[in-house]
Structure 1
Amino acid sequence: MRLLIADDHKLLRDTLGSFLAQQEDITTVTVGDITEAQRAIATCGPFDLVLLDYGMPGMEALDGLQSILSQENAPAVVLISGMAPHEVVERALRMGIRGFLHKSMPASSTLNALRFMALGERYVPVDFMMGQAERRDTETALALPPGMRALAQSLTPRETEVLQALCHGHTNKEIARALGLSEPTIKLHVKTLYRRLGVSNRTQAAMVARSQGLC
């Protein structure tokens, strides 16, 4: 099985590539952005699967994915991400990706999923597809005291997405890429969140959000 791993985080792609390369039947090529991925597909293919990071340079939300899928004899593409919204994954599936892998998945589960997809099957983590995370968040919010519920309800959907990304330690640049927005727009959202939460930095914002069950 030949795999192309496209991710701008060198540590992640090197770690994943090294793990997969230990399998006797797997060879990997790794690149850091969508342009390099397109070049590798043209010069180093064919690949059984192409793993594309949702937030890497050149993806521009799902535009980069579309550029790959629209190629003649397009390879089977797997979207990978640690923060892609549920609706984005659903849209990508409708566009024709083979599957989705969450970066929090155990290595063994990732390997099994890749083998499954290489056979031509589609794969999405069951918990993610069923929206269990969203339901748990909703149940937590309903169980919050009135003051906390008021704060949760005062945030716009976009502000909630940005706050959740802050909780996971993502930078403004990473959040902008993942949400398909400009970095100045994310900075504005972050400043607004500081004001609404009554904090002065990212760490405090994440602490308040976690204490109130918002992420």
Structure 2
Amino acid sequence: MSEEGKIKVLLVDDQPLLRMGFRLILEGEEDLEIVGEASDGAEAVRTVDAARPDVVLMDIRMPILDGIEATRRITESGSPARVIILTTFDLDEYAFSGLQAGASAFLLKDVAPAELVQAVRLVASGDAVVAPRVTQRLLETYVRGHRTPAQPAPDPLLAELTRRETEVLETIAAGLSNAEIAQKFFLSEATVKTHVRRILSKLQLRDRVQAVVYAYETGLVVPSNPDY
């Protein structure tokens, strides 16, 4: 974050009007600061290195280097920047690629302004966001498409979790926020955040999106509708 404690945001889209729209929405918030813009993935990677944003709003289809590959390069560089992928295409393949590349969130471009602002704040704080109307289909289809054995082999790392941490992981996989998890288990949000940090550390995961996929892939959470 900046010296003033603001969340630094980088806007990446090949359409200037869309960047302008996102800028107008986000600059109206006192805790958000636009630190740069990029019109293609290659420029985005360079700008992340120079501007050191906390959150990157990343388009998918762009010239020179697309948003998925740009996200992968940013993630693999070790940058702490978290990427929110924005797309007009409500298609699983884009979301799958984004998850694999290390994105922390996936939203559609028609997201309401208030939801976009909230998503930036959540991702900056370590929470992850997936567009609600695609969450279940995205995760369940992802798991079916990438799981090879009929029954997933248990991961020994799961045994490292306490009972409460396992319960928290299950609620993360269900898409609950820290506030919702706190309410469900009658805990403080600070306690929930501590549980989440320990879960990610024990399972050697980067963020909550990876935790959700992990929960499905290991069979901790089972897709509810196999014929979807």
Question: Which sections of structure 1, spanning at least 5 residues, go unmatched?
Answer: 133-215
Q: What code does the residue aligned with 1:52 have?
A: M
Output the TM-score relative to the length of structure 2: 0.53
Q: Which runs of 4+ in 1 moved over 4 A?
A: none
* Equivalent position to 2:135, from 120, 129, 139: 129
Identity of aligned residues (%): 24
Partner SS, residue 5 of structure 1: strand
CA contact (8 A) 1:17 1:30 kept: no
Matched, 1:20 2:29: no
Distance in 2 separating the partners of 1:60 and 1:37 = 10
Distance in 1 separating the partners of 2:55 and 2:39 = 16
Output the TM-score relative to the length of structure 1: 0.56
CA deviation after TM superposition for structure 1 residue 55, in Å: 0.7
CA deviation after TM superposition for structure 1 residue 83, in Å: 1.1
* Equivalent position to 1:42, from 36, 42, 49: 49
Residue deviations 1:170-208 (CA, integer Å, cap 9, x gap): xxxxxxxxxxxxxxxxxxxxxxxxxxxxxxxxxxxxxxx
Q: What code does the residue aligned with 2:114 have?
A: S
CA contact (8 A) 2:13 2:58 kept: yes
Distance in 2 separating the partners of 1:32 and 1:43 = 15
Matched, 1:11 2:17: yes
* Equivalent position to 2:82, from 76, 84, 93: 76
**Matched residue pairs, number?**
131
Report which of the two structures shows the higher radius of gyration computed on alpha carbons. 1
CA deviation after TM superposition for structure 1 residue 39, in Å: 2.0
CA contact (8 A) 2:55 2:124 kept: yes
CA-based RMSD: 1.9
Distance in 2 separating the partners of 1:102 and 1:123 = 11
Distance in 2 separating the partners of 1:84 and 1:67 = 24
Matched, 1:86 2:92: yes
CA deviation after TM superposition for structure 1 residue 14, in Å: 0.7
Structure 1 equivalent of residue 118 of structure 2:
112
Question: Which sections of structure 2, spanning at least 5 residues, go unmatched?
Answer: 1-6, 139-228
